[in-house]
A and B are shown apart, each in its own frame.
Chain A
Amino acid sequence: MLKQIEGSKAVAEAIALCRPEVICAYPISPQTHIVEALGEMVKSEKLTPCEFINVESEFAAMSVAIGSSAAGARSYTATASQGLLFMVEAVYNAAGLGLPIVMTVANRAIGAPINIWNDHSDSLSQRDSGWMQLFAETNQEAVDLHIQAFKLAEELSMPIMVCMDGFILTHAFERVDIPTQEQVDGYLPTFDPRQSLDPKEPISIGAMVGPEAFMEVKYLAHAKQMQALELIPQLAAEFKQQFGRESGGLVRTYRAEDAETMIVAMGSVLGTVKDTVDEMREQGHKIGVLGIISYRPFPLQEVRAALVNCKRFVVLEKSLAVGMGGIVATDVRMAVSGTGLKGFTAIAGLGGRNITKASLHKLFLEAEQEKLEPVTFVDLDWEVVNKQLEREKQNRHSGPIAENILYDKGMSTSAKFG
C-alpha cells in the first residue's frame, strides 16, 4: 500500500510485517522513531506475539537479542553511532555464535566531537565483525532490505545490519509502498533456527575454542558471507517476483554503459550522485554510477565487472580511515587490482556535512580530467584547518581542537544554541 510516511515509521512497519518475536531497544538518535513505533505496535497488540524490552544500554540490547535468538525467537534491534560502539563486544559475539539477528543501523557519525548527523563511520567500524551489511539508497529500499534481511540472516544463521542514512532517510517523509502481511508471509518463512536452547535437546553453546579449532570457526564465518554473495541476488530476484519491484542485490549501476568515469558510492547520496550524473550526461560527459548495496559481503567480482570498462573511478564515501584515506575505496581498489584503472578517493559528508550537486559536479569534472589528488576531502574548509595547525605550531597549550574550530567558524555552540 502506498503511503506518505517517515522512513523510520516505514521501517517499523516492515519489521512488524516480518513478525519479530523479541525486540529490544535502547534509544539513540536517529534510530529512536523506529523503536518508538515498534514499541507502540507491541503495546497496542497490533504486533503480537512479541516481547518489546526497554533495556538499559545498547550492550544489553544486543545481549538480550543474543539470548532470545539462541532460544529460537526471531530477534530485532536498532542502533546507531555511539550505541553501536557501546555494543561492539556483543556485536562480535552474536556473529561468532552464528545468531541471525537483524539490526537497523541509522548511520551516524562517531564522536568525539559529539555529532548526531549522518555518515557511515559507525557501521563501517564493524566491517570485520562478521555481520553482513546492506545499505539502503531510499526508504523504499530500506523497507525492502529489512524483509530480505530476515530471510538472508536466517538462511545462513548469521546476523545482518540494514544500514540507512540517519536523518536523511530515517526522518524523511516520502512515498513508500508498504507490502501486505500476505506478501511478506509468502516471502519470509517462519524462523527455523539451526541451534536452539531447549530442555528437550540440551546443548552447550559458547564453549571455549582453542587454537585447534578457532581458525575453522572463523573461516566458516567467511564462507557464510561468500554464500551470501550467491544468496543476495537470489533473494532479490525472489523479492521481485513476490513484490513486483527491484530492490536489493549486491550492486546497482546507473548510466554505466559507455562511462569513462564511474562514481562509486553507498546509501542515500546515490540520489544526489545520479542527479549530478544526469546533468553531466546532458552536457556530454561519459559518466556513470556504481551503487554498492552489499558492503559485507563485499562483491569483489560485481564491482570489478562494473568498473572494468571505465577509465577512472571515484569512490565517494562518508567514512574515513584516519591515517590512510578511504575505507570503501580500499575495497574497491582491491576489486579492480591488476586492471591499471585510475582510482580516486573522495571523503565527503562526514558528520552530516551537506553533499551538494555543485560540489559533486566540480569533483567529477576534476576526476574526469584526472586532476584530483588520490584522496580528496570534499568541501573541507582549509582556512580553519590551516589556522588551527598554525595555532598548534605557535602555542603549546593550544587547547581543544573542536572548540577552536567552532570558534574560528564563528559559530561557537553558545552563539548557535544559547
Chain B
Amino acid sequence: MSLQTVKFYQTGTYTVGNRLLGPDDRSVQSGELRSNSINSGHRACQGCGEALGARYAIDAAMAESNNQLIAVNATGCLEVFSTPYPESSWQLPWIHSLFGNAAAVATGVAAALKVKGKTDVRVVAQGGDGGTTDIGFGCLSGMFERNDDVLYICYDNEAYMNTGVQRSSATPPTARTATTMPVGKEPGNVFGQGKSVPEIAMAHGIPYVATATVADLRDLEYKVRKAMKMHGARYIHIFVPCPLGWGSASHDTIKLARLAKETGMFPVFEAEHGEVTSVLKIRNKQPIEEYLKPQKRFAHLFGKHAHPEMVAHLQAIADRNIRKYGLLDEEKAHG
C-alpha cells in the first residue's frame, strides 16, 4: 500500500488543527481535562508571551504528572501578575520565595518529597530570563550539577520587564532597553559574547534540555511532556515575546516568536545528556529585518540614521545559529 503524507496545517500557521486529530493526539490545551493551572483573571498584559507559554507548559506538566505537581516561581512578571492576593491564578500548590533562588527552592521541595516517599508528586521551577540567566544562575547551575529531580522552565522575553524593561544577559545586541538606550556611538545593547543558557545547561550533561517558542505550542507541549517523563534535572527555555518591552503589537506575539525561529535568531532544539537530538527546522527562512522591523526596540537600526552594519551583524548571528544547529534542510541551505 502506498502511503501519502497528508499535512494538516491551518493556512499560514503551521498549526495542526485539533479537529483533524484523534483525541489522543490532541493538545493538552484543547482537551476538556486541561487543568487550567494558571486560571483566567490574572493581570498579564495583552499579548503576553510569558502568560501563554506558562499556561501551555504548566498544563502540559500537570497532564503528564496526573495533576501531582508543585510549582516554584522566581520573582518576576509571572509571579506578580498571577498572585494579586487574595486572588491567585494558580490551581496547583505554588511557592514564590525570591528572585534568584527558584532552582534551589525547587531542589528543597524535591528533597522533601523524596524523603517523604511522595514519588508521584513532581516539581517544576520557573522564572524569567533575569531570574534564570542572571541572578538565579548560580542556583540553577547547582541544581543541574546535582541532577536534582526538577524541571526548570525559563520564560525568556530578553529583558527585565517587571522592573520596567532593563537589560539582562539574555537581551540581544542592539536592542533598546531602559538601560541600553539607542543613543551614542553604539546605540542599544552592546555586542557582547552572548550567553546561551540552554547550551550551558547541556554542558552540565543533564538528562534533557530543550528550547521552544510560543509560536509552536504543540512542540512546547510535547517537550514539557517529554521532560516530565524523565527524572533528574531538566531545562526548557521558552522564547516569549513581550509586547510592552519590545514595543510590538499585542497581536504580533506569536508572529514574532515564529520569526525568531524562522530567521535563526532563536534555535529550537532538544538535547539529551549534552547532545543535540533534534532541531526544529526552519520552514521558510526569513531575513533578520522581518523579525526586527515590527519591534520598536530595534527601530533605531532603520530609518534616517540606520545602522545596516548592526543589522548585518545580527544576521551573522542568526546565520551562525543556522549552521551550528543545522536549522535548514540541505537543499534549502544551498538553494
Among B26-34, B113-121, B186-194, the one that faces the other chain is: B113-121
Q: With A56-B139, A199-B69, A199-B92 as known contacts, state yes or no: A71 contacts B112, CB within 8 Å.
A: yes
Is the C-beta of B293 less than 8 angstroms from some C-beta in chain A? no
User: Chain A's nearest CB lies how many Å from the CB of B38?
Assistant: 11
Chain B, 82-101, CB within 8 A of any chain A CB:
83-85, 88, 90-98, 100-101
B109 A21 Cβ-Cβ under 8 A: no
Find B92's partner among A24, A66, A68, A202 (CB 8 Å cutoff). A202
B97 A97 Cβ-Cβ under 8 A: yes
Q: With A199-B121, A202-B90, A208-B80 as known contacts, state yes or no: A90 contacts B112, CB within 8 Å.
A: no
Is the C-beta of B242 less than 8 angstroms from some C-beta in chain A? no
Across-interface contacts of A89 in B (CB, < 8 A): 98, 100
Find A51's partner among B101, B115, B139 (CB 8 Å cutoff). B115
A204 B83 Cβ-Cβ under 8 A: yes
Task: Bin chain B's interface residue count.
Answer: 35 or more
Chain A, 124-177, CB within 8 A of any chain B CB:
none
A198 to B105, CA, bound (A): 15
A56 to B88, CA, bound (A): 32
B146 A53 Cβ-Cβ under 8 A: yes
Q: With A49-B115, A199-B69 as known contacts, state yes or no: A209 contacts B139, CB within 8 Å.
A: no
B112 A206 Cβ-Cβ under 8 A: no
Instruction: Find the B residue at minimum CB distance from A61.
Output: B104
User: Chain B's nearest CB lies how many Å from the CB of A23?
Assistant: 9
A53 B116 Cβ-Cβ under 8 A: no
* Contact digits for A173-187, partner B, Cβ 8 Å, 1 yes 0 no: 000000000000000
Across-interface contacts of B97 in A (CB, < 8 A): 63, 66-67, 90, 93, 97, 206
Is the C-beta of B287 less than 8 angstroms from some C-beta in chain A? no
Q: With A59-B139, A205-B94 as known contacts, state yes or no: A90 contacts B108, CB within 8 Å.
A: no
* Contact digits for A193-210, partner B, Cβ 8 Å, 1 yes 0 no: 000011101111111110
Across-interface contacts of B73 in A (CB, < 8 A): 206
Chain A, 61-87, CB within 8 A of any chain B CB:
63-73, 75
Is the C-beta of A384 less than 8 angstroms from some C-beta in chain B? no
Q: With A51-B114, A59-B138 as known contacts, state yes or no: A202 contacts B93, CB within 8 Å.
A: yes
A203 to B91, CA, bound (A): 8
Find A70's partner among B80, B91, B98, B109 (CB 8 Å cutoff). B109
B93 A197 Cβ-Cβ under 8 A: yes
* Contact digits for B50-64, partner A, Cβ 8 Å, 1 yes 0 no: 000000000000000
Is the C-beta of A188 less than 8 angstroms from some C-beta in chain B? no
Instruction: Find the B residue at minimum CB distance from A99.
Output: B97
A97 to B101, CA, bound (A): 14
Q: With A56-B141, A204-B85 as known contacts, state yes or no: A199 contacts B108, CB within 8 Å.
A: no
A55 B104 Cβ-Cβ under 8 A: yes
Find B115's partner among A56, A69, A73 (CB 8 Å cutoff). A73
Interface size, chain A (Cβ < 8 Å): 41
A66 to B98, CA, bound (A): 10
A209 to B87, CA, bound (A): 11
B95 A197 Cβ-Cβ under 8 A: yes
B108 A70 Cβ-Cβ under 8 A: yes
Instruction: Find the A residue at minimum CB distance from B104.
Output: A63
Is the C-beta of A54 less than 8 angstroms from some C-beta in chain B? yes
User: Chain A's nearest CB lies how many Å from the CB of B100?
Assistant: 7
Q: With A93-B97, A209-B85 as known contacts, state yes or no: A63 contacts B115, CB within 8 Å.
A: no
Find B72's partner among A53, A67, A75 (CB 8 Å cutoff). A67
A75 to B79, CA, bound (A): 25
* Contact digits for A15-55, partner B, Cβ 8 Å, 1 yes 0 no: 00000011010000000000000000000000001110111
Q: With A55-B104, A60-B142, A90-B101 as known contacts, state yes or no: A202 contacts B115, CB within 8 Å.
A: no
Chain A, 355-396, CB within 8 A of any chain B CB:
none
User: Chain B's nearest CB lies how many Å from the CB of A167?
Assistant: 28
A55 to B145, CA, bound (A): 10
Across-interface contacts of A412 in B (CB, < 8 A): none
Q: List 9 A-B contacts (CB under 8 A).
A: A49-B116, A60-B138, A63-B101, A69-B108, A72-B116, A73-B115, A73-B116, A205-B96, A207-B84
Which A residues are within 8 Å of any B CB, using their own CB?
21-22, 24, 49-51, 53-57, 59-60, 63-73, 75, 89-90, 93, 97, 197-199, 201-209
* Given A56-B141, A197-B95, 20 more pairs with CB closer than 8 A: A21-B112, A21-B115, A55-B104, A56-B145, A57-B138, A59-B139, A60-B138, A66-B101, A67-B97, A67-B106, A67-B108, A73-B111, A73-B112, A89-B100, A90-B97, A90-B98, A199-B68, A204-B83, A205-B94, A205-B96
The 4 closest A-B pairs by CB, nearest first: A67-B108, A56-B142, A206-B96, A71-B112
